[in-house]
Amino acid sequence: MEGREKRALHILIFAAYLLASPSPSAGWIRLAGSWSTRCSGRVEIYNSYSYSSWGTVCDDGWDLKDAEVVCRELNCGIALQARRSAYFGQGTGNVVHSNVDCSGSETSIDNCRYSSYISYSCHHGRDAGVVCSETLPQPTISLYSNEVTWGQDVSITCSVSDKFSGGTFILQKTSGSFSQSQTSSMSSVTFNLHNVNFDHDGLYQCQYMKTSQRFSSSSVRLSVTVSFPIPRISIYPVGEVTWGQTVEITQIQGSFTRSQTSNTNSATFNIPNVDFDNEGSYQCQYKKRGSSGEFSSPLSDSVRLSVSGKKNKNKYGLTLGKIKILTIVT
């Protein structure tokens, strides 16, 4: 085959390769340079309109929000570092972007504000780079114990993989308005809940935020239980009462203090105009309802109410005797 024919064949093969191979369009992005990986390196952008080649980004104003957009565009997790001063080595060709200003929520660096005017101070010694996490954070939540007693202190720990060190951790209850946040340079934080009550009972979830994105853990349940003391009971007047009198029976809860709707630890029941139907032994019990169920104290000792003044018989001639349980529900 003649040299001219060979040359023509090579041109045809090359043209066929170009047609079959997709060429990068304007705005394509890649990571390159020394020590670069699929998700870390010097940021390079292909611009077919002006240069038809790969160019670099100047690091003026380059920060973690800008790096976040690059990592998202490359499907490389979240941004861990925004590198400046040609950390991954100096590129070649033109510097194509400067003064990049992303909010952190954009899907492409082309959607960010930037300048195509490159000042003399932007050179390859100022090439911008990124370090991405490759995978997305998966926060975890842990409780020392899922069941605690009313009045105890509780610690809840939120954590992520060590490579995500630094960020904001948010502890939220899945229902209601409870929310606490801590910013830390570490990969975990501990939230302390003091003197818990039934308001703390429920499902909790951790969220982790490095830049603009939030990542949520699964939920864990915190169950608050209560162990009531034995109530004390008293009766006034003491001893035998006369038919038609008014009697007061007081329940005292011992050392337990209600924290939501009452600032007292006792309740009084008035029995006006007593008759033989009221005669008998009485006990008290205290109950409290929480989101996980109802909790009851033990029964108090019993006190005897004796009624005098008329014949202590019913119409069948049987002596009346009964135990009556008084219950307070709040």
Q: Using one digit for the tens of pLDDT, what is the confidence trace for 197-232?
A: 888 999 999 999 987 789 999 999 999 888 778 888
* CATH code of residue 278: 2.60.40
Joined together, the tokens standing for residue 105 give 């929520």
Q: pLDDT of 122-149, one tens digit each?
A: 999 999 999 999 999 999 999 988 889 8
pTM above 0.85, yes or no: no
Instruction: Say how many C-beta atoms besides its own lie within 10 A of residue 13's C-beta.
Output: 10
Q: Cα separation of 54 and 324, whole Å?
A: 89
**Among residues 201, 225, 249, which one ends one of the domains?**
225
Same domain, 212 and 247: no
pLDDT at 246 (0 to 100): 60
Are 217 and 238 within one domain? no
Beta bridge partners of 281: 304, 323
Distance between CA 146 and CA 47 in Å, rounded? Answer: 56
User: What is the rounded average pLDDT of the residues 62-75?
Assistant: 95
Write down the pLDDT at residue 22. Answer: 38
What domain range includes position 246? 232-329
Which domain-ending residue is among 209, 225, 241?
225
pLDDT band with cut points at 50, 70 and 90 for residue 56:
very high
**Number of domains the chain is built from:** 3
In this structure, the answer to whether residues 14 and 111 fall within a common structural domain is: yes
> Worst-scoring range by mean pLDDT, 184-188, 284-288, 301-305, 325-329?
325-329
53-61 mean pLDDT: 93
Longest dimension (CA), the chain: 139
| Distances 206 to 142, 200, 302 between C-alpha atoms, Å | 9, 15, 49
Same domain for 178 and 107?
Answer: no
